[in-house]
A and B are shown apart, each in its own frame.
Chain A
Amino acid sequence: MIRASRVIEALLFASESPLSPADLARADEALDEERVEAAIAELRGEYDRDARAFTIYEVGGGYQLLTRPEFAPVLERFDSVPGAQRLSGPALETLAILAYRQPVGRAEVEEIRGVGAGGVLKTLQERGLIEVVGRGEGLGRPLLYGTTQFFLQHFGFRSLDDLPRSEELPVVLARREQRKEEADGSTAAGVSQAG
Chain B
Amino acid sequence: MEAPAVQAGPFDIDLDRFHGPLDLLLHLIRNQDIDIFDIPISKITQQFLTAIRNLQRLELERAGEFLEMAATLVRIKAQMLFPRRGDDDEAEDPRADLVRRLLEYEHFREAARLLERAERERSRIYARGFVEVRPAPKLADLPLETTWDEVQSALGALIERLNAPETVHHVRGREIKIDDKIHEILAALQLARRVEFAQIVAPWGTRLHAVATLLASLELAKRSMVRVRQTAPFAALWIYRAKQEREAA
Contacts and interface: CB of A to CB of B under 8 A. Distances in A.
Interface of A: 13, 15-17, 57, 59, 64-69, 71-72, 75, 78, 80, 86-87, 89-90, 92-93, 95-97, 99-100, 111-116, 154-157, 163-164, 166, 168-170, 172-173, 176, 179-180, 183, 188-195
Contacts of B113: 92, 170
A99 to B, nearest CB: 7
B118 A157 contact: yes
A183 to B, nearest CB: 5
Contacts of A89: 19, 112
B19 A115 contact: yes
Contacts, number: 145
B62 A66 contact: no
Contact of B108 (A112, A172, A191, A193): A112
B124 interface: yes
Nearest to A164: B114
A116 B80 CA distance: 29
A72 B125 contact: yes
Given A115-B62, A191-B95, A155 B125 contact: no
Given A191-B38, A191-B92, 14 more contacts: A15-B128, A16-B128, A68-B125, A75-B130, A92-B112, A95-B112, A112-B105, A113-B22, A115-B20, A115-B65, A154-B122, A156-B121, A169-B107, A170-B113
B131 A66 contact: no
Interface of B: 19-23, 30, 36-38, 41, 61-62, 65, 69, 80, 89, 92-93, 95-96, 99-101, 103-116, 118-132
Contacts of A155: 115, 118-119, 122
A193 B93 contact: yes
Contacts of A78: 130-132
A173 B131 CA distance: 40
B131 to A, nearest CB: 4
Contacts of B131: 75, 78
Given A97-B108, A114-B101, A176-B36, A87 B93 contact: no
Contact of A170 (B103, B110, B116, B123): B110
Given A115-B65, A191-B95, A180 B111 contact: no
